[in-house]
Every structure is written in structure tokens, then in C-alpha cells.
Amino acid sequence: MHPERSGKRPGSGGHGGGHSGQGRPRAVAGGGGHIARKRFGQNFLVDQGVIAEIVRAIAPKPGEALVEIGPGLGALTDPVVERCEKLTVVELDRDLAARLRKRPELDVIESDVLKVDFAQLARERGVKLRMIGNLPYNISSPILFHLLPCADVVVDQHFMLQKEVVDRMVATPGNKDYSRLSVMLQWRYDMECVVDVPPGSFDPPPKVNSAVVRMTPLAEVPDVDPKVLEAMVAVAFSQRRKILRHTLGAWITQQGITTDFDLQRRAEEVPVAEYLALAAQVRKPA
Ligand code: SAM
């Protein structure tokens, strides 16, 4: 359904390494005996300098409806809730959720984040949500696409992801990282990389570099059917080395669109606005 689900991709186990694969399991530093679970993408932030930098970027304030995905052992949870007083957390790991439930300042949703209805949560809170989290990298793209339809009930999102994924999210046309992910998120969010985080900031350390991205939903929502845009962008980037005449050309013909869209380019050269304009024509044929 979305660009990142199939095929080999960054995020499919990228955190990797350092888990209790060989020898005796080792408890996470300062984790009260907790052993990191690789299947839950558990790499816990332990560098206090980096944690402070991320919290500064988030800038939580009292009264805001902050929601943290994957609080884990509380590396971000603690300094964030100190500033905003109440915090909703979504945690899948039963043991970690049980620990978190002991804290009255936290509202714990023990669940797979992909099953949480954030539009409903925002309705219950009566305000827009501020989403934060050091995401489990194995499902980071599914989380981004789960949140995409809820962008209108979100103030902003600060997420730690694989650096490689963040590079693709923020890439501009002509850049080697400009891809389906860039277009499918940039049409709805303004995005910037706000903190770079090396592997040594985590326990266990991942094999890849990480970064925190700030995602702010655009105030003006483009008038486009996301499903049409998604299908079109998938076709366009299916063979990114070829000029679009060979890929998107056939799709345009199938849709019966009359357009002056320049098909002598590659998918990676086309600005988001032009993809949006083309997708909009599917519902408004000339
Ligand atoms: N926030 C902590 C930190 O920075 O140290 C932990 C981050 S760790 C990379 C990812 C966290 O997400 C873990 O606590 C893990 O148990 C949780 N998690 C993994 N899959 C999840 C899912 N599908 N839904 C909710 N939480 C999940």
C-alpha cells in the first residue's frame, strides 16, 4: 500500500547489532535488568547530551497533548513529561508498559502503534496532538504512513529514524535521495532534519546512523486524492533511471488525461507540485 512496505529497504532490521544474539544476554545500561528485544527494534537512547538536544528541538510545554511512540525505558519520556506534565505513551512491550503504568503522569496505551486510532485520540483530547518518538526502525515507514491520514489532527511530529530514511524524506528534486518517500510525505508535511545521532548514543548501538526529523503538516492541504497520488508516484519511480515517457506515459494514457506534463524527464527530476498537479487532473479531466 505504501512505498516502503515491500522489497529490501533501510529500516528492515537496520538498528541491528548489539542485541543478545551471542553469548549471555546483557541488560541495558540503567534499564533495571531489561534485556533489549530485537523484534521490537529496541535500541535505547543513553547519551544525555543527545537526549537534551532532542528535547530542546521538541520544546514541550504544559497543556500540550504530547504522544510518545515507543517510550521504552523512558529516555525521552522523563525529560518530556517533566516539561509538559502529562504524556500519552504507546508501548507494545508488555513488560515496559507494565513499568510505565506505575507512573500517574503517564497515560499508557499498551498496543501496536499501527492499531492506534490517532484521529480518535485527538477527538478525545479535544486538541491537536504533538507526536514524538525514537521509532522502532523495523516499522518506521509503516508508522509514518499510518499517521499520514491523521495529519490534520497533528501539530507536529519529531521522530528519530535511520539517517538514510530521513535523507530520503527531506530530499529535493535532482538529489540522489529524492524518491517515492520524499514525494509521498512532502506533499503533506514540511520537514527538516534537526539532530544527527551516532550509533554510540544508544544501548545496544545500532549499525546505522540516526537522525531526528521534524514534520509539520502543511496548513494548506493540496486538493488531491492520496490514493491516486500514491499510485502515480509508484509508477513514476518504478524505473527511476528511465525517462518518464516509458513509465508514467502509459499511466497518463490509461487515465485519459490531456496534459502538457514533460515526460522527457526522470522521476527524480520532477518537483512535488508537478506530481500533485498531475494527480489532481485525474478527477478533473480537461
Ligand atoms: N524511546 C526509547 C528510547 O529512546 O530509549 C525506546 C526507543 S526503541 C528504538 C523503540 C521502542 O518502541 C521500544 O520501546 C519498543 O518496545 C517500542 N515498540 C516497538 N514496536 C512497537 C509497536 N509496534 N508499537 C508500539 N511500540 C513499539
Direct distance between the N- and C-terminal alpha carbons of the chain, in angstroms, rounded to an integer: 28
pLDDT-based confidence at residue 284 (cuts at 50, 70, 90): low
Q: Does residue 60 have a cis peptide bond before it, meaning omega lies within 30 degrees of 0?
A: no
Percent of the chain at pLDDT exceeding 70: 90
Compute, in degrees rounded to 10, the torsion defined by CA atoms 263, 268, 271, 276: 70
For the segment 209-264, what is each residue's pLDDT rounded down to a tens digit?
A: 999 999 999 999 999 999 999 999 999 999 988 999 989 999 999 998 889 999 99
pLDDT-based confidence at residue 1 (cuts at 50, 70, 90): very low
Q: Which residue lies with its CA nearest to atom 11 of ligand 1? A: 70
Compute, in angstroms, the gap from residue 22 CA to the centroid of ligand 1: 22
Could you tell me the CA-to-CA distances from 69 to 17, 21, 229, 254, 256 in Å, in that order? 22, 25, 27, 41, 43
* All structural domains of the chain with their residue ranges: 3-217, 226-280
Q: Which atom of ligand 1 is nearest to the CA of 136?
A: 10
CA angle, 277 as apex, 272 and 281 as ends, to 5°? 145
Task: Name residue 190's amino acid.
Answer: D
Q: What is the pLDDT of residue 34?
A: 87
CA angle, 65 as apex, 63 and 67 as ends, to 5°? 140
Q: Residue range 77-106: average pLDDT?
A: 97
For the segment 27-85, what is each residue's pLDDT rounded down to a tens digit?
A: 888 888 888 888 898 999 999 999 999 999 999 999 999 999 999 999 999 999 999 99
Compute, in angstroms, the gap from residue 1 CA to the centroid of ligand 1: 23
Ligand 1 shell residues, CB under 6 Å:
40-45, 69-73, 75-76, 90-93, 96, 112-114, 134, 136, 139
Q: Residue range 4-13: average pLDDT?
A: 37
**CATH tag, 226-280:** 1.10.8.100
Q: What is the pLDDT of residue 240?
A: 84
* Domain made up of 3-217: CATH architecture: 3-Layer(aba) Sandwich (3.40)
For the segment 152-179, what is each residue's pLDDT rounded down to a tens digit?
A: 999 999 999 999 999 999 999 999 999 9
Inform me whether the pLDDT recorded for 12 exceeds 50.
no
Compute, in angstroms, the gap from residue 156 CA to the centroid of ligand 1: 19
Compute, in angstroms, the gap from residue 41 CA to the centroid of ligand 1: 6
Nine cell digits for residue 188: 503533506
d(CA 209, CA 181): 19
Q: Which atom of ligand 1 is nearest to the CA of 45?
A: 5
Q: Is 227 helix (H, G, I), strand (E, B) or coil?
A: helix
Could you tell me the CA-to-CA distances from 250 to 179, 228, 257 in Å, in that order? 20, 15, 11
Compute, in angstroms, the gap from residue 34 CA to the centroid of ligand 1: 13
